[in-house]
Structure 1
Amino acid sequence: MTALQAALLLHGLLGGADVILNHELLVRLPSRPGAAAEQRLHSAREVIFGLLFPSLGLFSWHGWLAWWPVALLLAEILVSLRDTVVEGDTRRLPVPERILHVLLFINLGVIATLLLQALPGWLALPAAMQALPPGGPGQWLAAMGAISLAWSVRDGLSARRLRLRAGRHA
Structure 2
Amino acid sequence: MIDTHLLALQLMAAQGALGAFDTLYHHEGTEALPRRGTAGRELAIHATRSSIYCALFIGLSSWAWHGAWAWVLLAVFGVEIVLTLWDFVVEDRSRLLPPTERVTHTVLAINAGAFIALLAMSATDWAARPTAMVWQPQGWLGAFLACAAWAWASRACAMPSRRALSSGAASRSRRAMHRRRCASDRNRSACW
User: What interval of TM-score do these two structures reach, taking the shorter chain for normalisation?
Assistant: 0.7 to 0.9
Q: CA RMSD in A?
A: 2.2
Task: After the TM superposition, list the runs of 4 or more consecutive aligned residues in structure 1 that deviate by more than 2 angstroms.
Answer: 147-155, 161-166
Q: Paired residue for 1:133? A: 137
Deviations 1:1-59 (A, max 9, x none): 81011111111011011001101111011112211111111111111111011111121
Q: For the residues of structure 2 that align with 1:18 and 1:52, how far apart are their CA atoms?
A: 19
Question: Which amino acid letter does the alignment assign opposite residue 69 of structure 1?
Answer: L
The answer as to 2:11 corresponding to 1:7 is yes
Residue in 2 that maps onto 1:69? 73
Identify the match of residue 84 of structure 2 among 71, 76, 80: 80
Gaps of 5+ in 2: 172-192
Structure with larger Rg: 2
Comparing 19-28 with 63-72, greater Cα deviation is found at: 63-72
Structure 1 residues 46, 151: CA separation in 2 closer, same or farther (over 3 Å shift)? farther
Is the CA contact 1:42–1:152 (under 8 Å) kept in the aligned structure 2?
no
Is the 8 Å Cα contact of residues 46 and 152 (structure 1) preserved in structure 2? no
Higher relative contact order (CA 8 A, sep 6+): 1
TM-score by length of 2: 0.78
Stretches of structure 1 that go unaligned for 5 or more consecutive residues are none
Name the residue aligned to 1:101: 105
The secondary structure found in structure 1 opposite 2:139 is coil
Number of equivalenced pairs: 165
Distance 1:154 1:62 in 2: 34
2:37 match: secondary structure = coil
TM-score scaled by structure 1?
0.87
Percent of paired sites with the same residue: 33
Contact 1:14 1:104 in 2 (8 A): yes
